[in-house]
């Protein structure tokens, strides 16, 4: 699962890699060290109504995470563990100067003892259930991407590249790339969540996405564009995110490689990079 995950998340950063296998990888992942711990997962914050969250802060202190992050340059920690009805992982957690930008109960809402150690550099902790499958792990990453990109430019990411889907919405508009829970060809909010093999056709401009809608082409697509699988959709979505050599310009400004923000969030925000070069 680790090997497959490393290969998948690296390949997923190729801009339009599904149609250009030679497209350069934006982020090349590799595993630095594997630590196996045979003791019970430490129990942390008790969240309403009655479940306990893995104590990631305790785990990070045990491994002296800031040595990995600041001295070695580690960007992510992947934790594989178990869960039950009363014990749950946090899908992702970020430690940064700008807070916990993640798909979880944010550190700022937790008692001090349960907050991730703050290092000089930012890092992300992903919590995976080793009894599940790779697509569940990538699902966690998709939500982390949504949180980071939404933090940097909520309007452009959520209201243009992706989309906000609320239950009861009528899909009477063309979508761009969809969202983790809904592919761009969804029809019904009650039946189509987590459905990645829908064969119905809907207009989408995801494969030519540009902030200037006039530069895009809407095509009628269905799940065959991503192979009608959950993992296929996640890779298709990520490979349509503006990556290296994306060539997009908007209002006279060149679009940055969005993956830079997933690599070093602190530096990205420190330098005021945004989605465009000055």
pLDDT at residue 278 is higher than 90: no
Helices 230-239 and 2-11: angle between axes, nearest 10 degrees: 40
The confidence score (pLDDT) of residue 261 equals 96
Q: Which residue has the tokens 């690296």?
A: 10
Looking at the fold, whether 169 and 242 belong to one and the same domain comes out as yes
Mean pLDDT computed over 157-166:
95
pLDDT bracket for residue 231 (50, 70, 90): very high
The confidence score (pLDDT) of residue 7 equals 98
pLDDT at residue 180 is higher than 90: yes
pLDDT at residue 272 is higher than 90: no
Three-state secondary-structure class, residue 46: strand
Pairing state of beta strands 51-54 and 87-88?
parallel
Three-state secondary-structure class, residue 245: coil
Pairing state of beta strands 87-88 and 92-95?
unpaired
Looking at the fold, whether 37 and 128 belong to one and the same domain comes out as yes
Helices 230-239 and 134-152: angle between axes, nearest 10 degrees: 30
Looking at the fold, whether 128 and 175 belong to one and the same domain comes out as no
Confirm whether 108 is domain-assigned. Answer: yes
Domain boundary among 115, 132, 149: 132
Q: Which of 11, 72, 67 is nearest to 236 (CA)?
A: 11
The confidence score (pLDDT) of residue 11 equals 98
Q: Above pLDDT 70, what percent of the chain? A: 100
Cis-peptide into 203, omega within 30 deg: no
pLDDT at residue 210 is higher than 90: yes
Domain that residue 69 falls in: 32-132
Looking at the fold, whether 93 and 171 belong to one and the same domain comes out as no
Q: Which of 167, 181, 238, 197 is nearest to 11 (CA)?
A: 238
Confirm whether 114 is domain-assigned. Answer: yes
Confirm whether 15 is domain-assigned. Answer: no
Confirm whether 145 is domain-assigned. Answer: no
Distance CA 173, CA 185 (A): 10
At 22-74, the pLDDT tens digits run: 999 999 999 999 999 999 999 999 998 889 999 999 999 999 999 999 999 99
Handedness of CA 169, 170, 176, 179 (dihedral sign): positive
pLDDT bracket for residue 168 (50, 70, 90): confident
Distance CA 145, CA 128 (A): 16
Mean pLDDT computed over 126-132:
95
Looking at the fold, whether 169 and 90 belong to one and the same domain comes out as no
pLDDT at residue 169 is higher than 90: no
Query: 97 with 70: CB under 8 angstroms?
Result: no
Confirm whether 104 is domain-assigned. Answer: yes
Looking at the fold, whether 61 and 128 belong to one and the same domain comes out as yes
Looking at the fold, whether 43 and 115 belong to one and the same domain comes out as yes
Looking at the fold, whether 121 and 202 belong to one and the same domain comes out as no
Looking at the fold, whether 168 and 125 belong to one and the same domain comes out as no
Looking at the fold, whether 171 and 243 belong to one and the same domain comes out as yes
Confirm whether 14 is domain-assigned. Answer: no
Confirm whether 3 is domain-assigned. Answer: no
Domain count, the chain: 2
Looking at the fold, whether 109 and 179 belong to one and the same domain comes out as no
pLDDT at residue 139 is higher than 90: yes
The confidence score (pLDDT) of residue 67 equals 98
Considering the chain, what is the average pLDDT of its residues?
Answer: 96
The confidence score (pLDDT) of residue 198 equals 96
Q: Which of 205, 162, 179, 141 is nearest to 11 (CA)?
A: 141
Confirm whether 8 is domain-assigned. Answer: no
At 233-270, the pLDDT tens digits run: 999 999 999 999 999 999 999 999 999 999 999 999 99
């Amino acid at each position: 699962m680790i090997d497959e995950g490393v290969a998948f998340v690296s390949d997923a950063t190729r801009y339009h890699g599904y149609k250009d296998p030679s497209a350069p990888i934006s982020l090349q992942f590799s595993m630095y060290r594997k630590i196996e711990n045979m003791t019970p997962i430490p129990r942390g914050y008790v969240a309403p109504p009655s479940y306990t969250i893995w104590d990631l802060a305790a785990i990070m202190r045990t491994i002296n995470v800031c040595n990995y992050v600041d001295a070695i340059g580690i960007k992510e920690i992947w934790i594989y563990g178990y869960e039950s009805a009363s014990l749950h992982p946090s899908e992702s957690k970020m430690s940064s100067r700008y807070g916990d930008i993640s798909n979880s109960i944010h550190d700022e809402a937790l008692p001090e003892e349960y907050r991730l150690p703050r290092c000089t550099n930012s890092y992300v902790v992903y919590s995976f259930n080793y009894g599940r499958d790779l697509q569940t792990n990538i699902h966690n990453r998709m939500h982390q991407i949504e949180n980071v990109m939404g933090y940097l430019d909520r309007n452009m990411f959520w209201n243009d590249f992706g989309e906000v889907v609320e239950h009861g919405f009528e899909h009477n508009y063309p979508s761009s790339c969809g969202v983790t829970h809904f592919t761009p060809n969804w029809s019904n909010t009650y039946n189509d969540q987590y459905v990645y093999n829908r064969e119905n056709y809907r207009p989408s401009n995801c494969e030519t996405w540009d902030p200037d809608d006039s530069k895009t082409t809407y095509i009628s697509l269905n799940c065959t564009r991503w192979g009608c699988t959950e993992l296929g959709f996640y890779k298709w979505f990520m490979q349509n995110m503006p990556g290296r050599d994306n060539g997009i310009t908007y209002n006279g400004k060149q679009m940055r490689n969005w993956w830079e923000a997933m690599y070093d969030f602190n530096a990205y925000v420190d330098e005021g990079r945004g989605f465009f070069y000055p």
